[in-house]
Chain A
Amino acid sequence: MRDKPVRIALTVLGSVVLAVILTGSALFALRSRGHERSERRELILATTTSVQDSGLLDVLVPLFEERTGYRVKPIAVGTGAALAMAARGEADVVLVHAPEAEREFMAQGYGSERLLVMHNDFVILGPPDDPAGIRGLRSAVDALRKIAAAQATWISRDDGSGTDQLEKRLWREAGLSPKGAPWYITSGQGMGATLTLTDQKRAYTLSDRGTFLAYRGRVDLDVLVEGDPMLLNLYHVITINPARFPEGQINVEGGRAFAQFLVSPEAQQAIAEFGREQFGQPLFVPDAGKAEEQLGR
């Protein structure tokens, strides 16, 4: 009697394996005709949520696919996560916005080429009545000092994203470590969700301008501080150094093609136009070929 359940179990297991194989191969067949060729036609782009949430990827990726025949799998995570994926060889190219972390990534030899693509800027947002009195300040660091002195509620994303990394840097520059203070709240979420939280809590936060523009009208927040060179939001594309990984793991050609595309006149033009229609102003300024130092206003 005891071997019967075993037989049942084996039958079940067998049918499951069979089902998985059948379904898998069916999906495979649907997915790609001629898999061995399509293998290197696919490339993984690790990037940041701001590029996806703004809708810029929906413009650039189809254009690139049309021009080159590559198929892009854009994975939108925070800059921290995107670089971590790339450092494990799980991406072929990254488009990110945290210069300090990027320089470290390059120093560790994970990247081969790093090109400036575009910029926009960060702004400090807060409630229109501005209890900490930071409106119009020219220095982001001064604004943070005033917010801390007033113990006004501040929302930090605390998710390792490029925005979060800049915020941490600004606090360091201000000589403050607000973590743990009762007025310092961490959302752990993306920019959009954080804006909603900031609005609900009548708090202050650091945001990229693009996401704020997308949320304008839905949140009762004002741009209080802008124009500080420290608030520049620089986007770089980085190709991965194949020498750091086993032969054939990285789609070197695809990654390079995407990086070259982003700095090409056509993509730069598309970036310059993007957002004009929807927001009345472009969300990004194309910067291909410029040096970072030229951008400080």
Chain B
Amino acid sequence: MDLLWDGLIEAVRLILRADPELRQLVLRSLMVSLTATALAAMVGVPVGVALAIGQFPGRALIQVLVSTGMGLPPVLVGLVVTLFLWRTGPFGALGLLYTPSAMALAQFLVAAPIAAGFTRAALGLLEPDLLAALRVDGAGRLALGWELVRAALPQVLLAVAAAFGRAISEVGASLMVGGNIAGQTRILTTAIVLETGRGNFALAIALGIVLLALAFLVNLALGWSARLPAPAGV
């Protein structure tokens, strides 16, 4: 138990000292995970909307795929992405393996289904009357989807927050496609794995506390933006 305490003290010390290595880790973690989250939102939210209101062939199948994807094992994603990005793989020529871009891609793959699934669930809770009214209005499908997202904005932002949580906390895929290279692809989660392997438990805990604090701040920001009054017209 004393290790938790040591970790806490170490975390405060690292933050107060503005440790340059820690700053680098934090910035890289944020850059990779925010990129992944942005992409996941761009794909996941429209897919969630389509699943909530659309009637199209394959809808049930996509629904199942999204639900399965919400529990996608990161190590499996990491392994598959690695095989694709290998020099001998189909996208090897891009030279993306062991780069932050590859990590963002892997995190996107695990985060996007979360964004889609939660968005679909959020829109499913909206009043059916609202949907009917908008339909009577003669709104096109795109406009309809947009209005629904605006109506359920706090919930949709929660979906995005969940996707971010998945991305920033994920370690298996990032470790594999990034390689945990110091100064290049080491992020907070992979640094925690490394320091634990080195027996530096207090430092590992400290990094974990920093990671938690980071997730807290990002969620706080998202929570605030959800509180903004919904745009008029809904």
Q: What is the interface of chain A, defined by CB distance below 8 A to chain B?
A: 2, 4-9, 11-12, 15-16, 19-20, 23-24, 27-28, 31, 35, 39, 42, 44, 49, 52-55, 58, 61, 73-76, 88-90, 190-193, 195, 211, 214-215, 218, 249
Contacts and interface: CB of A to CB of B under 8 A. Distances in A.
Contacts of B142: 8, 11
Contacts of B55: 5
B84 interface: no
B104 interface: yes
B95 A89 contact: no
B98 interface: yes
Given A16-B39, A31-B99, A89-B87, A5 B199 contact: no
A8 B101 contact: no
Contacts of A7: 141
A69 B222 CA distance: 43
B174 to A, nearest CB: 13
23 contacts: A4-B141, A5-B141, A8-B46, A9-B56, A12-B47, A12-B50, A20-B39, A24-B96, A24-B101, A27-B35, A27-B99, A35-B95, A53-B194, A58-B182, A61-B182, A73-B179, A89-B87, A90-B86, A190-B197, A192-B197, A195-B199, A214-B198, A214-B199
Contacts of B68: none
A75 B39 contact: no
Nearest to B56: A5
B33 interface: no
Nearest to A12: B46
A6 B88 contact: no
Contacts of B47: 12
Contact of B50 (A5, A76, A193): A5
A31 B101 contact: yes
A28 B101 contact: yes
A16 to B, nearest CB: 5
Interface string B113-144: 00000000000000000000000000011100
A143 to B, nearest CB: 24
B54 interface: yes
A114 B70 CA distance: 46
Contact of B197 (A23, A31, A89, A193): A193
A76 B190 CA distance: 12
Contacts of A218: 199, 201
Contacts of B214: none
Given A24-B101, A49-B197, A90-B88, 8 more contacts: A6-B56, A9-B50, A11-B142, A23-B38, A35-B95, A89-B87, A90-B86, A215-B199
A46 to B, nearest CB: 10
A53 B145 contact: no
B95 A39 contact: yes
B196 A192 contact: yes
A249 B181 contact: no
A88 B104 contact: no
Nearest to A25: B101
A75 B87 contact: no
Contacts of A20: 39
A283 to B, nearest CB: 12
Contacts of A52: 194
Contacts of B141: 4-5, 7-8
B207 to A, nearest CB: 16
Give the top 5 A-B pairs by smallest Cβ distance, nearest first.
Answer: A5-B56, A192-B197, A12-B46, A27-B101, A4-B141
A250 to B, nearest CB: 9
A73 B39 contact: no
B78 interface: no
Given A16-B43, A88-B86, A214-B199, A27 B100 contact: yes
B42 interface: yes
Nearest to A24: B101
A249 B42 contact: no
Nearest to B108: A20
A215 B195 CA distance: 12
Given A5-B55, A27-B101, A249 B87 contact: yes
A16 B42 contact: yes
B184 interface: yes
B180 interface: yes
B87 A19 contact: no
Given A5-B56, A73-B181, A89 B199 contact: no
Nearest to B96: A24
A261 B35 CA distance: 38
B35 A76 contact: no
A74 B197 contact: no
Contacts of B201: 218
A75 B179 contact: yes
